[in-house]
């Protein structure tokens, strides 16, 4: 699946412009700057597929990526919780993100990215609540694992698992990744392969 070349398909700024229902979709969601676009690049082995930046708020639309013969479309989402952006923009992104997550029939799983240094925040809990309500399965990915000590990471995994245990749509397996060091990427690929093939 990830040996083939992936390409950009389309960008959507307004929920009314979503592409027609087609193949399965998986989405990468999470707070601004958590590493969504970087993880998509690591996953596909294509450094410049999704645009990344040091500055939060880089991804401002829903970006769809596909590959010839792949039975899945990857969706890169704007981040939520970017407090510094103008309120009008933040509201528009939040509406777009939540409308897509709530109402997309082909959305098979959401990878919910959490920065390993910060853990779950209140807006992550809001996103989880929405996904629980909509019965969309989400799987937590702890990102930027290279930034914290192994002991801290172990504790974070335990705490996060506890927080997920009571949530109806949460997938129980937590993934730990570093796009920088390329760790955990094979596990993420395997999780996606199971979704697409199984
Ligand atoms: P928005 O689109 O703005 O919401 O951000 P995003 O979640 O797409 O994050 P992006 O991939 O643009 O990465 C944000 C910053 O974090 C960039 O400077 C990346 O280089 C950095 N980054 C992403 N993943 C990792 C990682 O695994 N380790 C480290 N150390 N830095 C990372
Ligand atoms: Mg991005």
For every residue of 49-98, DSSP letters joined together read SS---SSS----SEEEEEETT-SEEEEE-PPB--TTS-HHHHHHHHHHHH
Domains along the sequence of the chain with CATH: 6-197 (3.40.50.300)
The pLDDT tens digits for 148-187 are: 999 999 999 999 999 999 999 999 999 999 999 999 999 9
Banded model confidence at residue 114, pLDDT cuts 50, 70, 90: very high
Protein residues placing their CB within 5 Å of the ion ligand 2? 36-37, 58-59
Query: Using CA atoms, how far apart are residues 66 and 69, in angstroms rounded to an integer?
Result: 9
From the CA atom positions of the chain, what is the Rg in Å?
Answer: 16
Quote the pLDDT of residue 147. 98
Residue to mutate (ligand 1; options 53, 80, 112, 149; most atoms within 8 A of CB): 53
- Measured in whole angstroms, the distance separating CA 55 from the mean position of its chain's CA atoms is 18
User: Is the pLDDT assigned to residue 83 strictly greater than 90?
Assistant: no
**Longest Cα–Cα distance in the chain:** 45
Residue to mutate (ligand 1; options 52, 85, 127; most atoms within 8 A of CB): 52
143 touches ligand 1 (CB under 6 Å): yes
The pLDDT tens digits for 3-38 are: 999 999 999 999 999 999 999 999 999 999 999 999
**Tokens linked to 147:** 């930034």
Query: Using CA positions, which residue lies closest to atom 18 of ligand 1?
Result: 54
184 touches ligand 1 (CB under 6 Å): no
């Amino acid at each position: 699946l990830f040996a083939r070349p992936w390409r950009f398909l389309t960008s959507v700024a307004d929920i009314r412009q979503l592409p027609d229902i087609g193949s399965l979709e998986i989405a990468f969601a999470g707070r601004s700057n958590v590493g969504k676009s970087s993880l998509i690049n690591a996953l596909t082995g294509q450094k410049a597929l999704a645009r990344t930046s040091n500055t939060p708020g880089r991804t401002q639309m829903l970006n769809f990526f596909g590959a010839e013969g792949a039975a899945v479309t990857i969706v890169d989402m704007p981040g939520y919780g970017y407090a510094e952006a103008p309120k009008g923009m933040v509201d528009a992104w939040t509406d777009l993100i939540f409308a897509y997550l709530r109402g997309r029939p082909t959305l098979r799983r959401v990878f919910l990215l959490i920065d390993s240094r910060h853990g779950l925040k209140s807006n992550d809990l809001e996103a989880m609540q929405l996904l629980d309500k909509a019965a969309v399965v989400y799987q937590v990915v702890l990102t930027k694992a290279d930034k914290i000590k192994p002991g801290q990471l172990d504790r974070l995994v335990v705490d996060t698992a506890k927080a997920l245990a009571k949530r109806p749509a949460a997938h129980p397996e937590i993934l730990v990744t570093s796009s920088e060091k390329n760790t955990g990427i094979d596990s993420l690929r395997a999780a996606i392969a199971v979704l697409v093939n199984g």
